[in-house]
Amino acid sequence: MATKLGKQTYKPDNPPYIISTGTVAGPFEGQGPVGKYFDHVYTDTLAGERSFENAEKEMMTNACFTCLNKVNITPQEVDFFLAGDLLNQTITSGFSALELAVPYLGIYGACSTSALGLAISTMLVDGDYARLVLAATSSHNSSAERQFRFPTEYGAHRKPTTQWTVTGAGAALVAKEGTGPRITYFTIGKVTDMGIKDANNLGAAMAPAAAATMVQHFADTGNGPEYYDLIVTGDLGKFGHELAIKTCITRGGFDLTKNYSDCGIMIYDLEKQDVHAGASGCASSALVTYGYLYRQMLAGKLKKLLLVATGALHSQCSVQQGSNIPTIAHAVSIEVE
């Protein structure tokens, strides 16, 4: 069983392996700096389906089967399927679970779902509840936009702080035995509310949650930022990224300037692709981590990675009623021996 360190961090006694990943992306994401590292890039955002919601389900199932096929594992061999997305009642995950026919645990962490899925997978594998756990998440620009803001066909103007929801899906297979990077620590975040009400400024809303989880992780483990080759947050964008750096210094005295980036900045070319503040969405951290960074670790170019996925826990209803936007961040330490 895992050992608890400090207040919120756990160290598995037998760190599980991430033995395979699967990543699929929309055409716009494929044009970005890390697009060549995705397993599949669709030629259109509908992915051959009749709606954007169906397209997102197609992407999640594709990512899952791609992940399993790489290591010749069938769905029948998987003990649990953990998945979450941004749509009402997490319908993408539910319909994907129907197709996979694997015992299903639906999770919701908004855009923090990639790290949340890895953390829970680690609990299940290290606790001997499972041998193989498949964790997946997805988002789609057009399905998320019309649920949380306006249909993209409206052509509504976006603020400079607005981020672009990533179209794509990522899956990771967490195993008790095998080869590949291992999950060595995970820190479960607390919900944070800094009084932000603007759904077009989620970077500012989520940055304090990211900083709080990172500061707690460093304090609990005794490993400062210098322990890692790279620290990445999920989707703070350029404004949230800057705020997270400042907050970690003021709250914990931790300097992130040497080895910290954000998946929401890495996935797009901010100079050539009009995404304003950067990327958001569950697929932001999933595509960058399971695609680009995972391959960097397999190639030996990265040894120690800290993924801090961030999520805004609001709904279209809560925002319209004038409620604040509560946020969360979970951290997962991934290391190569």
Q: Are 22 and 168 within one domain?
A: yes
Is 90 exceeded by the pLDDT of residue 178?
yes
pLDDT tens digit sequence for 64-82: 999 999 999 999 999 999 9
Give the model's pLDDT for residue 146: 75
Q: Are 49 and 118 within one domain?
A: yes
The predicted model scores a pTM of 0.96
Q: Are 239 and 204 within one domain?
A: yes
Of 122, 125, 117, give the one whose Cα is nearest residue 96: 117
Overall average pLDDT of the 101-120 stretch:
98
Q: Are 166 and 206 within one domain?
A: no
**Separation CA 186–CA 123 (nearest Å):** 10
Asked if 243 contacts 192 with a C-beta cutoff of 8 angstroms, the reply is no
Q: Are 186 and 73 within one domain?
A: no
CATH of the domain at 22: 3.40.47.40
- In the three-class reduction of DSSP (H, G, I as helix; E, B as strand; rest coil), residue 202 is classed as helix
Domain boundary residue among 130, 157, 175?
Answer: 175
Domain boundary residue among 175, 201, 218?
Answer: 175
Is 80 exceeded by the pLDDT of residue 152?
no
Domain boundary residue among 116, 148, 175?
Answer: 175
Range of the domain at 154: 3-175
Q: How many domains does the chain have?
A: 2
Q: Are 187 and 142 within one domain?
A: no
Overall average pLDDT of the 175-186 stretch:
98
Q: Are 23 and 162 within one domain?
A: yes
Overall average pLDDT of the 2-13 stretch:
96
pLDDT tens digit sequence for 18-67: 999 999 999 999 999 999 999 999 999 999 999 999 999 999 999 999 99
How many residues appear in the chain? 337
pLDDT tens digit sequence for 288-300: 999 999 999 999 9
Q: Are 204 and 313 within one domain?
A: yes
Strands 104-106, 230-233: pairing is: unpaired
Is 80 exceeded by the pLDDT of residue 155?
no
**Separation CA 314–CA 300 (nearest Å):** 39
Q: Are 64 and 149 within one domain?
A: yes
Of 30, 20, 171, give the one whose Cα is nearest residue 92: 171
Taking CA atoms, 20 is separated from 105, 132, 222, 299, 314, in Å, by 20, 11, 29, 14, 32
Of 286, 305, 236, give the one whose Cα is nearest residue 66: 286
Q: Are 152 and 200 within one domain?
A: no
Give the model's pLDDT for residue 15: 98
Of 89, 107, 235, 124, give the one whose Cα is nearest residue 244: 235
Q: Are 237 and 288 within one domain?
A: yes
Dihedral (CA of 118, 123, 127, 130) sign: negative
Is 80 exceeded by the pLDDT of residue 158?
no
**Separation CA 91–CA 273 (nearest Å):** 29
Mean model confidence pLDDT for the chain: 95
Copy the structure tokens of residue 142: 């057009």
Give the model's pLDDT for residue 13: 96
Q: Are 35 and 169 within one domain?
A: yes
Of 309, 250, 258, 257, give the one whose Cα is nearest residue 279: 309
